[in-house]
């Protein structure tokens, strides 16, 4: 089984590598189209800023490559946001795999939450084989200032200021706002579930 992590202008690939190694899986970090297309599973993680990340992908045609993939693809954090239609982070058009726009957290109705959200939060209303054996109200780890609203593709919800999508899915594309690689046992279960999803 060949697992590829997409290399682009965003950090956090090394912690994903370590998480996969704990599962006994070796992954290749690459931005080479042929390597990405030949993978059984593709992971698209990220910590960074949306517009510079999209520019990097477009310069290398990777945005079109990612959108056309037929094998299971997992977006994590910024990787999730770039798979959506648009981000308020520097007003950037993203890949549009998911027809949902990424919003910036704003304190409303007198809320005084500290933005970005950093730390452990519960997920609920779990759907999809990606979340098999993960308990309702399980804690996972978030670090972000932008979010995807709850939508038809939502497979897990969480609350910070308001309910939003902790995870979304459409066809072979799966995406998580939280960091599996920092989410302890629950994160390991989700990564393992992803690697057990077979390509159609």
The verdict on whether 86 is a catalytic residue reads no
- Whole-angstrom distance, CA of residue 73 vs CA of residue 39: 10
What 3 state SS string does 20-76 have? HHHCCCCEEEECCHHHHHCCCEEEECCECCHHHHHHHHHHCCHHHHHHCCCCCEEEE
User: Which pLDDT score, from 0 to 100, does residue 199 have?
Assistant: 75
Q: Domains (ranges, CATH) in the chain?
A: 3-195 (3.40.50.880)
Of 41, 94, 138, 181, catalytic: 181
| Residue given tokens 């920092």 in the structure block | 182
Digit-by-digit pLDDT tens for the chain (200 residues) are: 899 999 987 777 889 999 999 999 999 999 999 999 999 999 999 888 999 999 999 999 999 999 999 999 999 999 999 999 999 999 999 999 999 999 999 988 777 889 999 999 999 999 999 999 999 999 999 999 999 999 999 999 999 999 999 999 999 999 999 999 999 999 999 999 999 999 76
SS3 for 164? strand
Of 41, 77, 94, 138, catalytic: 77
| Residue given tokens 């060949």 in the structure block | 2
- Whole-angstrom distance, CA of residue 50 vs CA of residue 75: 13
User: Which pLDDT score, from 0 to 100, does residue 112 have?
Assistant: 84
The verdict on whether 179 is a catalytic residue reads yes
User: Which pLDDT score, from 0 to 100, does residue 200 have?
Assistant: 66
The verdict on whether 181 is a catalytic residue reads yes
Pairing of strands 173-176, 162-170: antiparallel
């Amino acid at each position: 089984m060949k697992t590829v992590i997409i290399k682009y202008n965003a950090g956090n690939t090394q912690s994903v590598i370590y998480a996969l190694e704990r599962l006994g899986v070796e992954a290749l970090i690459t931005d080479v189209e042929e390597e990405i297309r030949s993978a059984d599973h593709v992971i698209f993680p990220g910590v960074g800023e949306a517009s510079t990340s999209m520019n990097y992908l477009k310069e290398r045609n990777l945005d079109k490559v990612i959108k056309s993939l037929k094998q299971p693809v997992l977006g994590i954090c910024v990787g999730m946001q770039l798979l959506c239609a648009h981000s308020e982070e520097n007003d950037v058009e993203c890949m549009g795999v998911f027809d949902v726009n990424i919003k910036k957290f704003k304190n409303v109705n007198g809320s005084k939450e500290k933005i970005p959200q950093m730390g452990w939060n519960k997920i609920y209303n779990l759907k999809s084989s990606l979340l098999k054996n993960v308990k309702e109200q399980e804690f996972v780890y978030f670090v972000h200032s932008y979010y995807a609203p709850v939508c038809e593709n939502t497979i897990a919800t969480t609350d910070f200021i308001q309910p939003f999508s902790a995870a979304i899915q459409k066809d072979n594309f799966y995406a998580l706002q939280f960091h599996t690689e920092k989410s302890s046992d629950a994160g390991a279960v989700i990564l393992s579930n992803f690697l057990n999803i077979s390509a159609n």
